[in-house]
Amino acid sequence: MSGSSWVPESRVRIVLRYGDERTARAVAEAVSPDNLEAPQGLRVETWVRGGEVFTVIEGGRPLETIVSTVEDLLSCVQAAERALNVLGWARGEKDKSPAPSNKTQSPEMW
């Protein structure tokens, strides 16, 4: 396969856990526009179930592209969390960060 540009399919699964569905939905909605701007050949899907935000990034792109996309997504998540914290969104308290307890989870746990 020398000279070939074949790239294997990759899949990244991210779980963000929040204390309530309202916070989870706010974060998911804040990052969802980024799903439309994924690099060509990548699919990014985000959804909410209870107090958790699930994101799947998959496609046949080089690893550097996948990693960059994950970094961009988590950067947007962090910005959304900070904004919610400033607004006092989570549990009505300004001093409590809505930061997730666990940013990633193994696929077996889905």
Structure tokens at 65: 């592209």
| CA–CA gap between residue 10 and residue 66 (Å, rounded) | 8
pLDDT in tens, 87-102: 886 555 544 445 554 4
Burial class (CB in 10 A: 0-12, 13-18, 19+), 76: middle
pLDDT in tens, 49-80: 999 999 999 999 998 999 999 999 999 999 99
Structural domains of the chain, ranges and CATH numbers in brackets: 10-101 (3.30.310.50)
pLDDT in tens, 76-88: 999 999 999 888 8
